[in-house]
Structure 1
Amino acid sequence: MDFLVQLAIIAAKVIGLTFMVVLPLVPISVYFERRFSAIIQDRVGPNRVGIPLTLFGAKKDFHFFGLVQPMADGLKLFLKEDFTPTHVRKAFYWLAPALVVVPSLITVCVIPFGSPIGFSGEEVKLVIADLDVGPLFVFAIASLSVYGITLAGWSSNSKYPFVGGVRSTAQMISYEIALGLSIIPVLLYYGDLNLSNIVEQQAQHGWLLLPLWGHDADHTFVSKLLFWIPAAIAFIIFTVSIFAETNRMPFDLPECETELVGGYHTEYSSMKFAMFFMGEYAAMVIGSAMIVTLFLGGWSMGFGLDDAVSHLAIGGFKVGGLIHLGVFMTKLVTFILFFILVRWTVPRFRYDQLMRLGWVIFFEAALINVFLAALVIAAPQLGTAITIIGAVVLLAVTAGLLWALRSSEPKPQPNYGLLGSN
């Protein structure tokens, strides 16, 4: 009987957190993107699509601020002809969209959405799988999505999708290195790979980027303030790398419509195209969730309020976890809006600039940041003299690396145009 209860709890968490929390965020994100971009460009966003109640005798149609637009988009994609070109490699052509969207949905299972809820002493964590290797699981599964994009480009048997697939392979592999290195300081600081435990520590001792409460002998204000420097560097590298991993502007070179028509999904239509679309937005949601979890406290309200909220109960049912779920979703939606803001304000990179940022700047910066974080964490045990020596050595290595990078850059040649060729 206990096995059936546990099975029912797991099924409820999968259905509730994946299909009722994360998946609805995909069409909502599309709606946010349209409205937000309309505000930025000073134009009207979606506000006319609705249910035509006037056809049935009503005085007004049901518009609801344009929120019917996502439903209309989904219905349109379902009803469009599912066309498969004759020149494609069909098995891989059909498989590719699933390989893009499925990894994004699987990674949801290790994200802690809130503190435990429960009834009569029995607690249920608001996380589908409370793994002790959470970030590693996310990176391992999320990296599989590159196979979907690569297969889509190759199986289309067309030059533009193929170039888009090759671009995506190089881009995602390049930024995965910086992505992995950037969170090592976070894992060193907390000494844990369990995302739920990391959020619990942030709730007790301050968010990684807002360490203003929970000071004690092990987490003094000075030590947390010193670690804020490598934490901020890690946050910048991780956030920008997430943009590159999700193929969002300004890193959307794999689907660059100005050069590649549509990139790897040029030959796709109907629900196959919708799965690529959904995979991109689902990856954006999961990337935002990881940023919020690692750097911004996850479900934590902060300022010492979480312990009291966690114990709130109505008739023996702990409801604090549901409040924390609302806090987490608020942070998540805020960061999704930041993703959208960046897309409509920052111009697209050139491909050589994108590769240079990943290999020449972020890789070295993330590696140096690991040593900086280790030095800050170990400083109380090393003593003042050894810490100063370590800081000097680190500065010397950083300066030498910067000099080597600058001296190895080719100097720009003056462009004389047609006159120079005469």
Structure 2
Amino acid sequence: MPQPPSTSPAPRITYGAVLGSPHVARLLGGTLTGRLPAGMAPASIILWTLTTGGGFAFGGLLCALYGLASGLSQPLKGRLMDRYGQSTVHLPAALFSSVLLTALPFAGPPGGPALTTALVTAAGLTAPPLEAGLRALWPSVLPNPRLRHAALALDTGAQGLLYIVGPLLAAALASAYSPAAALVTTAVLGLAGTVVVATAPPSRRWRPVPATGSDIPERRLGERSLVALFVALLGTGFAIGALNVWAVAMAARFSAEILSGLLPAAFSAGSFLGGLVYGRRAWPGSTDRQLLFSSAVFLAGWLPLLAGPGPHATTAMVVLPGAFLTVVVTCAYAVTDALTPAARRSEAYAWLICSIGAGQSAGSALAGRLAEHPLALAALPTAGATFTLAVLLLTRPGQSAFHYGRNHRGHP
């Protein structure tokens, strides 16, 4: 009598197998190095602004402009990759962005705020789309879906470390040398990491699958479902942005300056650890269920913070939502992959990144206005996570991906 198929989770895989696969360590390491400006540039810019007499307000504006320009230009750069290839986009973008960051100290006060603002905005606009490019490479680099799952989880979790290492490195360079040295180092690291990725054989050889007539109905299905997913991820980014400002407000409230960096660091460490755990095995349930479950736990992780715990308890508590952030984002990439025609995949990944970044900017902006109201400020991450879960429950984009993959691509 035939035995029913087993529904138990598949055994764990090792990250040694993932990183030992051809090109993986180079691509992941190069991308993380090339993306260090995402964490270093804002800190370097504000430190340089203060030394040149620009003040906190102007420095904060420049940081916001750099982040917004980089995030909002992602879809366009993703579309260019889909049309012209990765190296053709990565190398010129990295060169322009690095030159602009290096030129910033030479603009100085004589250049005036208009020139400084233009340089910072242009540097953000031309930041290379390494994160979206790496996600587009995984299927060709790791044909084994289980290794690819682990690589994506590791990649997603490691991205959060950029916002721990980047500001610390910028501050150390500014303290030991000067903020100008921090800006130049930021530019050099960004360019070097991009060159490592763009000259790797998978990136040089990568070409998108040409669009065909059969892609048209898929594209329509994907657009409707992906819009819902990207709207949901605005709430996820909102929670992250609110946390960053909340950390600064708590540092001032408890007269403990270390909290401004410690809370985001604990959240990012949770994200990294969550990625390590999630990526080591294939978990039961469809993408739809995993996405909903991780979004629900992401929300649940914020709820205890509404009680206003002290700084030590808060630091420990933010690890849980951080851990499930990686699962939410990894599942979101899986949904995006399933619902997007191959000819537009880089662009779709870039829209996902843009959605989270836009939500993060909105969360930071609103949290800044509520910084004097601790209870309202503490509620903002919960509000963002609630928005994400509500949109996912109402639209079920992951379920669309599951049925699409099962019926059209042979996925289980």
Asked if TM exceeds 0.5, the reply is: no
Normalising by structure 2, we get a TM-score of 0.33
Structure with greater helix share of residues: 2
Normalising by structure 1, we get a TM-score of 0.33
Structure (1 or 2) with the larger CA radius of gyration = 1
